Structure 1
């Protein structure tokens, strides 16, 4: 069996279709013998939010601006930690509970840098990237506001 073809070391993808976590992580670390750590975060659609059942979530974005915003977040992580690669895949369109929404993955020589950079990227992505979420609940459709906990998470990085 041959190794998977490597992806660009720093990449942002916005897409409607699902992603294969194992394949994406394998591509991110392929052909780089310096990689000693791969850290990934996968966000999924919850079936309950703020006390209401969620039947579906629809994500919208601003094409072009969204990718630039996330690329800038990755660049900030690169300035803070010696990482070899970072991949952000964010889905848009209608999604059902339990479906994957986002993948943030980071490679580095050591786990500490990879964990920190991954957490930094997802914390900033949740508050800075231009996405809009609309949930379908038994009471009807509603737009999802930013969470106070997401804003609080930025404070540990010197943001917000």
Structure 2
């Protein structure tokens, strides 16, 4: 079992990360998620600026990946999160899971993303043509994370 966590300014290559995960022992499934900078409702996003608490962020992501491995029994987890200034449609986050079975892989990937959105110390600032403001945490993200403590998502059939 292994964990790869990176917080970086540079972009990442999904294909390279997939290949690394697909070489895991006992790998029957590779599940990946890539989050992108998306346009605002009013269509005026110029840039998304992401900041983090260096050192603490990596530690939180590492602990999150360890929890997912223990909970779902997956072989490998990769979490890459970018920081700095990003433009529309640029990659922000990659979560990849190598698992023995697809259900465990999908569950681990969802678990990581749900908790990453609510527990990792990242801050987003949206820049438009007329304004710049920090993005508040979404209630929908908090709700998604709580489902993992209710017990219904704990059981994963192989």
Q: So what's the TM-score if we normalise by structure 1? A: 0.89
Give structure 2 stretches of 5+ with no counterpart: 151-158
Q: What's 2:53 paired with?
A: 62
- Does residue 1:77 correspond to 2:39, yes or no? no
Aligned residue pairs, count = 150
Deviation at 1:141, TM superposition (A): 0.4
1:13 to 6, 13, 27: 6
Alignment of 1:5-154 (within 5 A): 9-30=2-23, 32-49=24-41, 51=42, 53-154=44-145
Residues in 2 aligned to 1:52 and 1:67: alpha-carbon distance in whole angstroms: 32
Answer whether contact 2:25 2:75 (CA < 8 A) is retained. no
Q: CA deviation at 1:29?
A: 2.4
TM-score, with structure 2 as normaliser: 0.90
C-alpha distance in 2, partners of 1:140/1:127? 25
Q: CA deviation at 1:79?
A: 1.7
> Which contiguous aligned blocks of 4+ residues in structure 1 show a shift greater than 6 angstroms?
none
Q: CA deviation at 1:33?
A: 4.2
List gaps (5 residues or longer) in structure 1: 1-7
Aligned-residue offset at 1:109 = 0.5
Q: Deviations over 1:77-105 (max 9, x none)?
A: 11211100000000000000100000000
Distance 2:58 2:11 in 1: 18
